[in-house]
């Protein structure tokens, strides 16, 4: 291919060159990613003798923790694809947790999901009113909604839950969904046997399969349907195309007769509903299903981080949510040795990434990654365990590292956070 830019040598690196290779289809990327993650975890668990890393218990914990983050991240995608930064997801999620506990107390688990979503959507509506109608800075409005969401949830909790539980910080326990077995009993038992046998690779695979498919909660099914549904609505329907056009170039969208305000209102309200739903799933997924003050623990922000991690797209966001969920799950169900073994895994992953970059002739990145791999391995080698206070923040550190390496390749919607007034385009 005669590429005139190629002759420019070094300066060509400043120009975003068209991808020379044909891009892999999304499903292939997903399969490769899953195999790679499973491979690294398996190698780590075998070489460091930590079968816990791929155990079914940790895997089902991962799902429990990843679901709320995924739903909040999905909310973030809805809002930001329409061009509205939504840092108020945390506040909307808090509203959702309260709403879910109240709805669940009155009408059971389905009621919990519905009221959770409605409360979150109300928060989203406030955000839409402030940012779309009044043109307030998106981040400022979001910060205010976070304050407001926490305050309202606490106020309502004092008003309604305190008379029942004698404690303003907790709601009564609400009914949960019954989870069901997907695998036939015999197969589940043999998988469990295989997992216990500790034969390499097979046991790891058995643990993962049993963790994901052993007990299925309706929450998982609903969340996956919403994820897939959102993808189809946003990327495969005229409605979604219009909505995303508001996030890329609202003035152009307006010139084509799209009512940008209405699309933004819809998108932000749905975004709030997803955040509220994330709160509801958090409440329903807990061992004791109930609202507790401070339950979200910044998961709204984490959902936002997962969205950015996934480059504002559902598949990548799911991977981000999985990462956070795994770290949370390991933190809860694992031992400090297992977490320490993750350092070993991180070293392997960084090493593999270095080889990959070398293969793609990106020597500088490869050298950098190799240095990271060596540093992490050295840390693994000299320490016996990691301080437990820091371990729970692994996902945050990973996010920072990912942002540092990938921020330039991320592409947010072009008009994300840009104020838009009808009829003022140039």
Partner 1 sequence: MIAKLISSLRAPVLAVAAALLLCSLALIISDANPISAFGAMIGQVNENTSAVDILNSTAIYMIAAIAAAIGFHMNLLNIGIEGQYRIGAVVAVIVGSAISLPGVLHWLVVLLVAMLAGAAWAALPAFLKVTRGVHEVLSTIMMNSIAAGLAAYLINPDVFGRLVGSSKSTEELPESAWVSGLDLGDRGEIFGLVLLAAAVAVGYWFMMGRTRFGFELKASGESPTAALAGGISSTRMIVIAMLMSGAVAGLIAMPEILGRDHVFTQNFTLGYGFAGIGIALIGRNHPVGIVFGSLLWAFLEKSKLALDDVHVPREIATIMQGTIVLAVVIAYEIVKRMDRAAEQRSVGRRAAAAELVSADAEAAGEK
Q: Could you give the count of Cα atoms lying within 13 Å of 195 in the half-sphere of its Cβ? A: 24
CB of 166 closer than 8 Å to CB of 176: no
**Structure tokens, 327:** 């770290």
- In terms of CB distance, is 257 or 423 closer to partner 1? 423
**Structure tokens, 290:** 């109930």
Give me the DSSP letters along 142-167: HHHHHHHHHHHHHHHIIIIIHHHHS-
Single residue of 62, 271, 292, 399 touching partner 1 by CB under 8 A: 399
Single residue of 17, 106, 151, 237 touching partner 1 by CB under 8 A: 151
Q: Does 216 bind partner 1 (CB under 8 A)?
A: no
CB 336 to partner 1: min, Å: 13
- In terms of CB distance, is 185 or 408 closer to partner 1? 408
Q: Does 382 bind partner 1 (CB under 8 A)?
A: no
**Structure tokens, 14:** 């400043």
- In terms of CB distance, is 238 or 387 closer to partner 1? 387
Applying CB under 8 A, the span of 98-106, 233-241, 242-250, 401-409 interacting with partner 1 comes to: 401-409
Single residue of 89, 94, 145, 323 touching partner 1 by CB under 8 A: 145
CA distance 188 to 184: 6
In whole angstroms, how large is the CA radius of gyration of the chain? 23
Collapse the DSSP code of 292 into the 3-class scheme (helix H, G, I; strand E, B; otherwise coil) and give the result: strand
Q: Does 308 bind partner 1 (CB under 8 A)?
A: yes
Residue 216 β-bridge partners: 180
Name 143's Cβ contacts closer than 8 Å, sequence gap at least 6. 87, 88
CB 4 to partner 1: min, Å: 27
CB of 306 closer than 8 Å to CB of 320: yes
CA distance 122 to 128: 10
Window 54 to 93, contacts with partner 1 (CB under 8 A)? 87
Give the phi and the psi of residue 170 in degrees, each rounded to 5.
-130, 150
Q: Does 332 bind partner 1 (CB under 8 A)?
A: no
Q: Does 319 bind partner 1 (CB under 8 A)?
A: no
Q: Does 387 bind partner 1 (CB under 8 A)?
A: yes
Q: Does 390 bind partner 1 (CB under 8 A)?
A: yes
CA distance 306 to 26: 18
- In terms of CB distance, is 135 or 200 closer to partner 1? 135
Give me the DSSP letters along 106-120: HHHHHHHHHHHHHHH
Applying CB under 8 A, the span of 71-79, 115-123, 138-146, 196-204 interacting with partner 1 comes to: 138-146
CB 168 to partner 1: min, Å: 8
- In terms of CB distance, is 327 or 353 closer to partner 1? 327
**Strand 180-181, strand 215-216: pairing:** antiparallel
Single residue of 13, 106, 137, 193 touching partner 1 by CB under 8 A: 137
Q: Does 313 bind partner 1 (CB under 8 A)?
A: no
Q: Does 135 bind partner 1 (CB under 8 A)?
A: yes
Other C-beta atoms within 10 Å of 48: how many? Answer: 18
Q: Does 154 bind partner 1 (CB under 8 A)?
A: yes
Q: Does 301 bind partner 1 (CB under 8 A)?
A: yes
Q: Does 269 bind partner 1 (CB under 8 A)?
A: no
3-state secondary structure 46-69: HHCCCHHHHCHHHHHHHHHHHHHH
CB 301 to partner 1: min, Å: 5
- Contact residues: partner 1, CB under 8 A: 87, 126, 130, 134-137, 139-141, 143-152, 154-155, 158-159, 168, 298, 301, 304-305, 308, 387, 389-390, 392-393, 396-397, 399-400, 403-405, 407-408
């Amino acid at each position: 291919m005669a590429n005139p830019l190629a002759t420019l040598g070094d300066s060509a690196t400043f120009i975003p060159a068209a991808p020379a290779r044909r891009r892999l289809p999304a499903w292939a990327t997903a399969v490769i990613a899953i195999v790679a993650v499973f491979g690294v975890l398996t190698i780590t668990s075998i070489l460091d003798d930590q079968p816990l890393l791929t155990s079914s218990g940790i895997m089902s914990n991962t799902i429990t923790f990843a679901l709320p983050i995924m739903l909040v991240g999905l909310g973030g995608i809805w809002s930001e694809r329409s061009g509205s930064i939504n840092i108020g997801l945390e506040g909307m999620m808090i509203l959702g947790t309260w709403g879910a506990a109240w709805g669940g107390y009155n009408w059971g688990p389905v009621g919990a999901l519905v009221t959770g979503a409605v409360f979150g959507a109300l928060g989203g509506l406030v955000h839409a009113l402030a940012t779309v109608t009044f043109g307030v800075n998106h981040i400022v409005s979001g910060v205010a909604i976070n304050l407001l969401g926490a305050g309202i949830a606490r106020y309502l909790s004092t008003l309604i839950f305190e008379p029942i539980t004698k404690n303003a910080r907790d709601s009564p326990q609400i009914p949960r969904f019954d989870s069901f077995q997907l695998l036939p009993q015999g197969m589940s038992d043999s998988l469990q046997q295989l997992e216990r046998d500790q034969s390499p690779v097979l046991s790891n695979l058995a643990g993962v399969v049993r963790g994901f498919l052993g007990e299925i909660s309706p929450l998982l099914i609903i969340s996956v349907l919403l994820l897939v549904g959102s993808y189809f609505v946003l990327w495969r329907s005229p409605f979604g195309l219009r909505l995303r056009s508001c996030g890329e170039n609202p003035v152009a969208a307006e010139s084509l007769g799209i009512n940008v305000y209405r699309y933004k209102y819809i998108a932000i309200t749905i975004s709030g509903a997803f955040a509220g739903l994330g709160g509801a799933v958090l409440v329903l997924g807990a061992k004791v299903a109930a609202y507790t003050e401070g339950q979200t623990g910044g998961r709204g922000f984490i959902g936002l981080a997962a969205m950015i991690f996934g480059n504002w797209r559902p598949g990548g966001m799911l991977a981000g949510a999985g990462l956070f969920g795994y770290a949370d799950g390991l933190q809860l169900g694992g031992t400090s040795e297992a977490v320490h073994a993750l350092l070993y895994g991180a070293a392997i992953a960084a090493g593999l990434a270095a080889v990959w970059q070398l293969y793609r002739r990106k020597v500088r990145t490869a050298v950098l990654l190799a240095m990271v791999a060596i540093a992490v391995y050295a840390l693994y080698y000299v320490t016996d365990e990691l301080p437990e206070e820091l371990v729970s923040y692994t996902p945050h550190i990973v996010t920072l590292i990912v942002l540092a390496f990938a921020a330039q390749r991320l592409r947010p919607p072009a008009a994300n956070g840009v104020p838009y007034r009808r009829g003022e385009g140039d």
